[in-house]
Amino acid sequence: METKANIISWMKTYLNESSADGFVIGISGGVDSALVTALAKEVTDNVLGMYIDIDSSESSKELAELVAQSTNVKFETINLTNSFNEFVKDDNSDVYSLGNVKARMRMAKLYQYAQDNNYLVLGCSNKSEIYVGYFTKWGDTASDLFPIANLTKGQVYELAVEMGVPAPVINSIPSADLWEGQTDSEDMGVTYNELELFFENKLEDKEAISKINDMHNNSHHKRIKLNTTTN
């Protein structure tokens, strides 16, 4: 497992070598973005957290605000709901396509703020999600660096506890909040616990193993050029 010190050292080196002045991060209210925010604040005080609302739940906004308060980062809320509705008003796409549009709109906004401030955009994907391709290409992975890309979801929770991420964030059900009632496990078809067992070669459910392998093989194209701590 990547240690906190190793991740922070890598982030600091990358920031210095990039001649950037700080980081911008989309704070969703989930444990992944909360942990990345806490790590970023260990590197520099120049951290801008953004909650980008596109028909988002009130609970996710409250958790995002809690993360910003606990880490003492500058925080802004942007509402793109009207822009999203205008963008897709003549479409008959399913929730997955529309969810990807939301992720790409959010990342475009993050990069606008990054350019305005000479900041780098931080990605919040973890090893479990990256392995099975559970992310939006050119959306949440259109980032400059991924501090927790080598941590499984279980390791994310461990480090989040160590770094004092608020309990309500840690205990929230993992969700990208792209539509009402959406959860990560339901979308993936496997649980994070099953992925944890898979990485440890302890998963006995052959159907789950086959599904994980299929998702990994079919999403290879999505992992090209992701900038992680070990590449």
H-helix or E-strand containing 43?
Answer: helix 31-43
> pLDDT tier at 231 (50, 70, 90 boundaries)?
very low
Q: Per-residue pLDDT averaged across 196-205, rounded?
A: 97
Q: Per-residue pLDDT averaged across 124-128, rounded?
A: 96
Domain edges within the chain: 4-223
The residue count for the chain = 231
Predicted local confidence at residue 1, as pLDDT:
65
> pLDDT tier at 33 (50, 70, 90 boundaries)?
very high
Long-range CB contacts (< 8 A, 24+ apart) of 156-160? 156/31, 156/32, 156/35, 156/126, 157/31, 158/1, 159/4, 159/35, 160/31, 160/34, 160/35, 160/38
Q: Per-residue pLDDT averaged across 80-104, rounded?
A: 93
pTM: 0.93
The Cα 43–Cα 23 span in angstroms is 9
Q: Per-residue pLDDT averaged across 136-165, rounded?
A: 95
The Cα 82–Cα 144 span in angstroms is 28
Q: Is a pLDDT exceeding 70 seen at residue 172?
A: yes
The percentage of the chain sitting over the pLDDT mark of 70, rounded to a whole number, equals 97
CATH number belonging to domain 4-223 = 3.40.50.620
Find how far residue 164's CA is from the centre of its chain: 18
Residue 180 buriedness (CB in 10 A; 0-12 / 13-18 / 19+): exposed
Average pLDDT score, the chain: 93
Q: Strand, coil or helix: what is 51?
A: strand
